[in-house]
Amino acid sequence: MNPSEQPTVAFTPIKSDQRIEALDVLRGLAIFGILFVNAAYFGLPMMEVAQPTLSGGVGVNGQNADWNATWFIKTFFEFKFISMFSMMFGIGAALQFDRARRSGSRFDGFYCRRLLILLGFGILHAVAFFYGDILTIYAVLGVSLLAFCRLKTKILLPIVIGLMMIAALMSTGMVLLESMAPQMELTSAADQATRTGWDAIQASGFQPQNPIWIDAETVAHQDGPYGDLLLFRVLAWAMGLITIILSYGWHILAMFALGVVIKRSAFFTPSDSGRRTRFWMMVFLPVALAIEGLAAWSYLTETSPIWATIILSLAREFSTVATMLGYAAVLVTLVQMGVAARLFGWMAKVGRMALTNYLLETLLMTTLFEFYGFGLFDQISRSGLILVSIGICIILMIFSVLWLKCFSRGPMEWLWRTLAYLKAPSLKRG
């Protein structure tokens, strides 16, 4: 057989029996972790989440339960699971790039089509359902993976560090700007109550931390009309995009590149090299969590001098990634040890339907909080939102297990692959 006649690996949607379980478990964990952070953005006014006004301290009960809940989420969840999800996005792109290269297929056109479809999903998701959408950002920044997948690891590693340093500096700059911002003048209760929708936005001076804005935003979510809700949602989405461009987007790019590096490493293998890599990641996990806890405490108490705030802001970029990698190392190690195999098997099914479950989280949360559902916006405490998140995680897990008993992939995964490959994969199981 001459070289031109050698068989190639077909570049088609991956089959269920070809999947790496630990990857799917991590995707499932990331989906759950993102929900715990996003719950506040679903259920509370935007600036009440971004700049919480709370009192109390760690370990204090009773009326300070919300302070403790916020500290808990910031320490153990915030930025960790979106970082993990971003890293998994990079790993997924690297796996597809390698499969395309082995099959002799062109990758760039296929991948750009895939990102364009994701962009459509993201815009629809952001405008119609949730301003905190991440799909749009992934679709735009994901183009970088066309370069990352072609670079050698020794070049990628400095890029990861460099991007993280830029993200740290940009985030610290935003912290400084926030500290120098003038104090908001309070508005009379009577003036607040008479303004809704665009009128309230104008009266607030286009400042979402203004009580007029917050009250009108709350009314739009609790009582409508839908036009006002859509207005606040689109403006919040636009503000989020600006924040991504100015700061957090650099972190996402770093995690994309890190995903390519991790995919090429022994991280997911049971080899000695893989075990050593995971061991050191687990060693640094307690230190990273200590920094995260201190940073969360400093942010919520607002008692630290500005120099300490700057140092913690810079350090947190790296402690967040160290925490995320520590979580991943623990989970992969447990999966390979066969610990709680049934639980991790269920989580893997959540991960196999990551896009479906991400969008389903939004559907469930908006049904719970928006006026066209149960209208519970700003009616559930921050500690109560943790319980809501746990309940929805259970629902997602049950749904994923039952769905995959009958079908080979999630409904949104099937649609995405159909449009990307221009050929419908089988949806039936087996």
Tokens describing residue 25: 């478990």
Q: Which residues contact 414 (CB under 8 A, 6 or more apart)?
A: 407, 424, 425, 427
Contact predicate 175/183, CB 8 Å: no
Q: Is residue 233 part of a domain?
A: no
Looking at residue 4, its pLDDT comes to 40
Query: Residue 377 is part of which domain span?
Result: 17-151+252-421
Residue 217, in any domain of the structure: no
Question: Distance between CA atoms of 131 and 123, rounded to whole angstroms?
Answer: 9
Residue 201 lies in a domain: no
Query: Residue 171: inside a domain, yes or no?
Result: no
238 occurs within a structural domain: no
- And the tokens for 10? 């077909």
My answer on whether omega of the bond before 225 falls inside 30° of 0, hence cis, is: yes
Residue 296 within a domain: yes
What residues are paired with 79 via a beta bridge? none
Query: Percent helix, strand and coil across the chain, each rounded to 5?
Result: 75, 0, 25
CA distance 294 to 297: 5
Cα–Cα distance list, 343 to 88, 348, 394 (Å):
20, 9, 11
Question: pTM to 2 decimals?
Answer: 0.90
Mean pLDDT by 10 residues, the chain (430 residues): 42 55 95 97 92 59 77 96 97 93 88 96 96 96 96 96 94 74 52 74 90 93 94 94 88 97 94 95 97 92 80 91 97 93 94 97 97 95 96 97 94 93 81
Distance CA 167, CA 176 (A): 14
Structure tokens at 189: 């209760």
Q: How many domains does the chain have?
A: 1
The closest alpha carbon to 174, from 234, 122, 231, 251, belongs to 251
Cβ neighbors of 86 (< 8 A, separation 6 or more) are 138, 251, 252, 255, 256, 259
Give CA–CA dist 261/149, Å, rounded.
9
In a domain, 206, yes or no: no
